Structure 1
């Protein structure tokens, strides 16, 4: 019996028939739906005649969901096909292959038809028919034996995942699609389940997992494999959502291929945008909370299209909705996905067998530190950290992903930390834990070693060091307050020099001609020489106006000061009260004081000892949180000796001269 790898290789060879009409990154448009179609054909083979007989008897009396449910019961699957056609009959009619294949697909139950609609497979059928390769492709697939008696559900799941991975890697190499490397998924899964052996070994245990950006379903598939390998007595119901049609269709197919059981036997992969189309309790998912959540949201993607709905939810519902903590800048929606996932957390209520949730998500570095105190990003971090949900951040090597070479980080977030982790956050530096790839795939040139693929057990090494929860060269433990700071406003007094000039006088009177007599009197009283104490000048003018019986509006006073004064560091500070000074907005500064140091007695003089007149305006304080990973793992390397640098420069000069001589020749 051929294993899944041999079947995968055989199907991969069929893709050569597409060369010409399709470019290699486009092969998956045909090969994945054809593999699904052939598997379903083989699965339904033994019950085909019974389904057809039942259909002939009842299709005029029943339709829609009622008919589907009746025929699914006969097929013994979550789907059926009531078309008289199959792959064998399709192969026997080359002249009508396109029409027959469409008719055959339309004979499936609604859930399968919907998958092929999202695959947009009719377009591909028409394209292959015009290129005269459709019959060849169908014929080659008809000899691939994917019957459950020869290829089990587990083997078929592995085969399909293998094809998904290979086609995705091919697409990522050239098209830059977003696909999570398998070893990153395995590391995330290991970190997600590492503390739950006691929970998962209980007989009859059922857990639920959600991936709100599931793509082709790779993370959900890997999680289910982990449970089967490590805790076969437990069940993991997997749920996902994605807005990419082909990715959704692939993930939904994968679940049907494996005959994954789930609550209510409904469809567990949904099409739609998680941010603007939240599938809540009472909609399509069985309920609104999950035991585990996992995701790799797209890096640096804006949320302009969803902006209207998200802002409305934030302002109208606050913390009763998903985005109460804040909204990040519109050019990066990563922290929106994180809030969405946290909103799906299961509350901790062990008396009623509710054990809380764990979450693993991959982000770029931006969500760790972007945005100052008071910004949406900082407020979201503050909310997560102050609630003690952030368990750890793991830094991955660069050049790990197909579509980007930037540094990436796994966040582990949970509302059920172990007692020894409560109030603590672990930072783990795995940036140097990798093996170089023999052949790069797009931007991916490195991978974390996986013992399952004959490589060093780097995944296991990271997990074991992480679980030890001790300080080392790659692991550091912090109090959650260590990442918080108070953004304090530091003010310096406004200093104004007064002087009335002919031009300024004319400019003021152009705006306020009715004040001519008062201005003439002020000019006569104070003269044209510069004066360096605005406090004394203002007092003199107010006394003069009072004696004249003149009352100026606030706007007129403001215009007068704006026109006749200039900032001058040699002038006296402008007083706002007996012991207060008016601040100079141009000299305003900000100081970030770590929360642990922000105590009574920490004055501006300690921050600005060279500026004796500075003061902190604590009425404007804002608390912020950021995680500057490099700060905690920075390794100082002393500069090289000058002789070494000189030697390198000399060799470079010699090489340049040599090249110049060759050009001259």
Structure 2
């Protein structure tokens, strides 16, 4: 039997929801608890039948109820009084319309405590998980509870094993993802991407008698975690153990229910970034598809105060993807590997020196990134953007060390005959095998490059430029030298003028030490300074409009045509070189000698400008510095001094794989224009008739 025959039958239960006016976006919240109920019952019945067969019918009939309970409890898969003690199923409960409400309530309360919690049977506010209690209340209000329950009772999953039910669950979650990004779709990873991740992992591990521990820190409903495990188990005899954590109530409950029917699986509830439920564990394999572009502002203080040491740098508060990446790396054992799904922002967001760039640099410095694979667009159900697989490996082969492989798999797909939400493509099996073979070979080909990790580094060299006028002059030459506290002679920063008048257009200032103000309009002198004087002074831009500073012996202004400061005295103009006129206002408190006042000051300074140059990086420090100097000599013509140099890291697929569009030769374009011209003349002739 093909379990996927039940996909349409399960989805048909939504017809009843539609018929009673429940919005499509709300369907997953109604379907999740009943789907979980169907899964739990089918697996408990299957387990019960296997237990009977194992013990034998005669021996089984003689087992005392308490002993039977202990036997089932040891299985760790749950308990239900109706199933195990009364041999009744959900189908039996639905047969009696009159007693259904009472029987159904008793059936749900007949589960063990953990199952009741996961289903939300006794849910209080804030402890809902699958919230079947709330769903039942809504269905009762709509008077369709019995009818809806009967539809689910008809779905018999008992003939199918765990892996088959997981496959069905993935398909159902995918449909939920199509209609609601706020539920399962928020964490849903397509089956073809899961298969590719599993193939990558399979290419890195070997048969062993040691346990393979697989961890997903944002496991959602468990589709990727359990999907990878099932595929690994198909290829290897090696025992596996799965660990997962998620803080979405409903998705956690689904994953937890699934985990109880697997040989060795541990699923925990909670925010991984705030409370790691596996803080003492390390893993052979880590996988995750953390949420994209989700703010971590709500738990900022917890992360800033984190004492685990897992967060080397804190990225922009608007996107926590690289927090999850750092957490996952911290969970790898000494030879562990991982595959993490991200969008493009983790490749290049943040400038050199930013947390994002520093995280990438730390990852490459640690030589933990083996490859990054660009997937096709339109691969996921709720977004059409490019997504990327980061392949992490603490046990790189010798010829992989200090290298990173970029694989542009954007063309490795098969178009779907029918779109599934935003998903229009899939990485089919042929493409998956080709991608894995390319990764394994670790050699350049038409869509893959192996590069030294330093290729992705760049220098962001800061410099302080000294702007000059048309004659190459700078006001810096007029700044006097002065001995600093270390005994070195250095130029002062500015020359202060003593103005008698400041003029700009119709504006004229003649008072430069202000002690009076309108007390009816301003509460104090400092308020007058802040509200009235500083804004007035701020508009005195010497470049925007002619600004003249008059002193006792000269006028000073800026000649924008020559880009120079001019000193005019006695009818003689002297070009002082490129510089700035800085007018400022400040409030001064009263001293023993001077009253409280507002002082307006004027300074002439050189025109310094901080700039940055992006320069390719060389891992040899001497070569790197020589390259920086050669770059400056070629491209920077103004005087400058070096400031700080910050090394940034970004992984730019477009830079490496960009192929310029091939343009037709001019002769061909000319022939096409000529043909069009002839066609137009024929049409004009026809219109003239």
Alignment of 1:390-409 (within 5 A): 390-409=369-388
1:336 alignment partner in structure 2 = 323
Kept in 1, the 8 Å contact 2:166–2:223? The answer is no
1:107 alignment partner in structure 2 = 110
Kept in 1, the 8 Å contact 2:91–2:154? The answer is no
Q: Distance in 1 between matches of 2:676 and 2:185?
A: 40
1:347-400, Cα deviation, whole Å (9 max, x unpaired): x2xxxxxxx211111111111011111101001001000010110010111111
2:170 aligns with one of 158, 161, 168: 161
1:139 alignment partner in structure 2 = 150
Kept in 2, the 8 Å contact 1:603–1:616? The answer is no
Alignment of 1:551-570 (within 5 A): 560=601, 563-565=602-604
1:247 aligns with one of 242, 246, 251: 251
Does residue 322 of the first structure (1) align with residue 345 of the second (2)? Answer: no
Give 1:3 shift. 3.4
Give 1:595 shift. 3.0
2:418 alignment partner in structure 1 = 439
Gaps of 5+ in 1: 59-68, 263-267, 282-286, 349-355, 451-456, 514-521, 537-552, 568-573, 575-582, 659-665
Does residue 376 of the first structure (1) align with residue 385 of the second (2)? Answer: no
2:541 alignment partner in structure 1 = none
SS at match of 1:462: helix
Kept in 1, the 8 Å contact 2:173–2:185? The answer is no
SS at match of 1:185: helix
Does residue 222 of the first structure (1) align with residue 227 of the second (2)? Answer: yes
Instruction: Calculate the TM-score normalised by the size of structure 1.
Output: 0.75
Q: Distance in 2 between matches of 1:303 and 1:174?
A: 19
Q: Distance in 2 between matches of 1:226 and 1:254?
A: 16
Instruction: Calculate the TM-score normalised by the size of structure 2.
Output: 0.73
Alignment of 1:572-611 (within 5 A): 574=606, 584-585=608-609, 587-596=610-619, 599-602=624-627, 604=629, 606-607=631-632, 609=634, 611=636
Kept in 1, the 8 Å contact 2:466–2:639? The answer is yes
2:432 aligns with one of 450, 459, 464: 459
Give 1:473 shift. 1.0
- CA distance change for structure 1 residues 173 and 469 in 2, over 3 Å: closer, same or farther? same
Larger C-alpha radius of gyration, 1 or 2? 2
1:546 alignment partner in structure 2 = none
Q: Distance in 1 between matches of 2:414 and 2:649?
A: 34
SS at match of 1:406: coil
Kept in 2, the 8 Å contact 1:32–1:250? The answer is no
1:152 alignment partner in structure 2 = 161
Give 1:178 shift. 4.2
SS at match of 1:237: strand
Q: Distance in 2 between matches of 1:156 and 1:42?
A: 14
- CA distance change for structure 1 residues 4 and 250 in 2, over 3 Å: closer, same or farther? same
- CA distance change for structure 1 residues 385 and 359 in 2, over 3 Å: closer, same or farther? same
Does residue 184 of the first structure (1) align with residue 188 of the second (2)? Answer: no
Q: Distance in 1 between matches of 2:407 and 2:462?
A: 33
Does residue 80 of the first structure (1) align with residue 104 of the second (2)? Answer: no
1:110-130, Cα deviation, whole Å (9 max, x unpaired): 221221021111122222233
Q: Distance in 2 between matches of 1:507 and 1:289?
A: 71
Give 1:626 shift. 0.8
Give 1:624 shift. 1.1
Q: Distance in 2 between matches of 1:592 and 1:120?
A: 57
Kept in 2, the 8 Å contact 1:490–1:591? The answer is no
2:284 alignment partner in structure 1 = 291
SS at match of 2:297: coil
1:523-574, Cα deviation, whole Å (9 max, x unpaired): 55677744555999xxxxxxxxxxxxxxxx9xx9x975xx142x6xxxxxx5
Q: Distance in 2 between matches of 1:159 and 1:139?
A: 20
1:209 alignment partner in structure 2 = 214
Q: Distance in 2 between matches of 1:605 and 1:3?
A: 68
SS at match of 1:246: helix
1:129 alignment partner in structure 2 = 140
Q: Distance in 1 between matches of 2:200 and 2:393?
A: 12
Q: Distance in 1 between matches of 2:16 and 2:184?
A: 21
- CA distance change for structure 1 residues 404 and 14 in 2, over 3 Å: closer, same or farther? closer
- CA distance change for structure 1 residues 15 and 564 in 2, over 3 Å: closer, same or farther? closer
Q: Distance in 1 between matches of 2:353 and 2:672?
A: 51
Give 1:600 shift. 3.7
1:415-465, Cα deviation, whole Å (9 max, x unpaired): 111111011100001011111111112221111123xxxxxx111111112
SS at match of 1:487: strand
Gaps of 5+ in 2: 121-128, 468-473, 479-494, 516-549, 557-566, 569-573, 580-593, 684-689
Q: Distance in 1 between matches of 2:185 and 2:672?
A: 42
Kept in 2, the 8 Å contact 1:605–1:615? The answer is no
Q: Distance in 2 between matches of 1:293 and 1:604?
A: 43
Alignment of 1:256-335 (within 5 A): 256=260, 258-262=261-265, 268-281=266-279, 287-313=280-306, 317=307, 320-324=308-312, 326-335=313-322
- CA distance change for structure 1 residues 390 and 417 in 2, over 3 Å: closer, same or farther? same
Give 1:599 shift. 2.7
Give 1:54 shift. 6.6
Q: Distance in 2 between matches of 1:133 and 1:463?
A: 50
Moved more, 438-447 or 362-371: 438-447
1:91 alignment partner in structure 2 = 94
Q: CA RMSD in A?
A: 4.0
* Structure with greater proportional helix content: 1
Kept in 2, the 8 Å contact 1:51–1:71? The answer is no
Kept in 2, the 8 Å contact 1:604–1:614? The answer is no
- CA distance change for structure 1 residues 175 and 165 in 2, over 3 Å: closer, same or farther? closer
